Amino acid sequence: MTTQATERFEIALNTPAGQLTTAVEVPTGFVAVTAIVPLMRRLGEEAQALEEARSTATGKTVSCHKGCAACCRMMVPLSAPEALALREFVQSLATERQQRIAERLARTKSLLLSHGLWNRLLELGETTQPPDDEVLEPINRDYYALRIPCPFLEDEVCSIYEERPAACRELLVTSPAEWCQDLVKNPVEQIPVPVRIGPALGLLWGELTQSPARLIPLPIALEWAQRHQRENHATWQGTQLLDQALDKVWRFLSQAFQKRSEEADS
């Protein structure tokens, strides 16, 4: 994005925790969908920061901290744009780092194969059906039962922190950190997520490519992106991507407002 001319936009979004006002630089030329991923993640984080501030004002502070990686044993879903962007990022790393990541991914794949989960994840990433909770729940449960560390985790710290998926950024809890060691038994308290950026990007991808809104488990993301790399050759005008992405953001915010309203009435 830095090599192209950009246009500055002021964005104002009403969220359940207050108004978000921010400026973004958008390419004026034609770019791949991955160009919009960092911008979307930032919008999600800024909206989440408003929720965090409101939570702090009520006496509930986030208990997540560096080295607390219990949630890095969960199955993390990515949208197609995120998977493609992650592959681009990994390919930009030094050869030694790429090799370490490849080795951890290979170990993860071997373990998942031995427990009959790898092919289930592949099917989930390639299905043409919309994500279904009845399908996802048993896979999530079986995956979490293995307590497999994320292949991008090094010494209990995320090695791709600045490029981590939106789903990882959105999980913030106010309950004691030790409760996260067993998310099945412990009812952790999570800060509300006003905009789920992964699903929003998934809807954007589906609209752009006339294809299903993919849900791609992190362990298969690089393989999925390699198989679908040709799809990332298509380009769209940057301002068009922004408009369509914001349309998905507003859709999620509308749902968040409706949910809060229903909760207030109940």
- pLDDT tens string 22-58: 999 999 899 999 999 999 999 999 999 999 999 999 9
Q: What is the DSSP letter of 28?
A: S
- Structural domain for 127, as ranges: 6-265
Q: From CA 195, how far away is CA 45, in angstroms rounded?
A: 9
Is 197 in contact with 222 (CB distance < 8 Å)? Answer: no
Distances (CA, A) of 33 to 19, 151, 161, 182, 237: 27, 25, 21, 37, 9
Q: How many domains does the chain have?
A: 1
Residue 163 belongs to some domain of the structure:
yes
Residue 137 belongs to some domain of the structure:
yes
CA dihedral (230, 236, 240, 242) positive or negative: positive
Is 149 in contact with 73 (CB distance < 8 Å)? Answer: yes
Mean pLDDT, range 59-85, rounded to an integer: 90
Q: List pLDDT tens digits, range 165-205.
A: 999 999 999 988 888 888 778 888 999 999 999 999 999 99
List the structure tokens of 222.
């690089």
Q: List pLDDT tens digits, range 88-111.
A: 999 999 999 999 999 999 999 999
> Residue 2 pLDDT more than 60?
no
Task: Label residue 3 by pLDDT band (50, 70, 90).
Answer: low
Q: Rg of the chain over CA atoms, in angstroms?
A: 19
Residue type, 109: K
Q: From CA 34, how far away is CA 245, in angstroms rounded?
A: 12
The proportion of the chain whose per-residue pLDDT surpasses 70, expressed as a percent, equals 99
24 DSSP β-pair partners = 9
Is 149 in contact with 72 (CB distance < 8 Å)? Answer: yes
Residue 38 belongs to some domain of the structure:
yes
Residue 1 belongs to some domain of the structure:
no
Q: How many helices (H) and strands (E) does the chain have?
A: 9, 8
Backbone φ, ψ for residue 131 (5° rounding): -55, 130
- The pLDDT value recorded for residue 12 is 94
The proportion of the chain whose per-residue pLDDT surpasses 90, expressed as a percent, equals 76
Q: What is the mean pLDDT of the chain?
A: 91
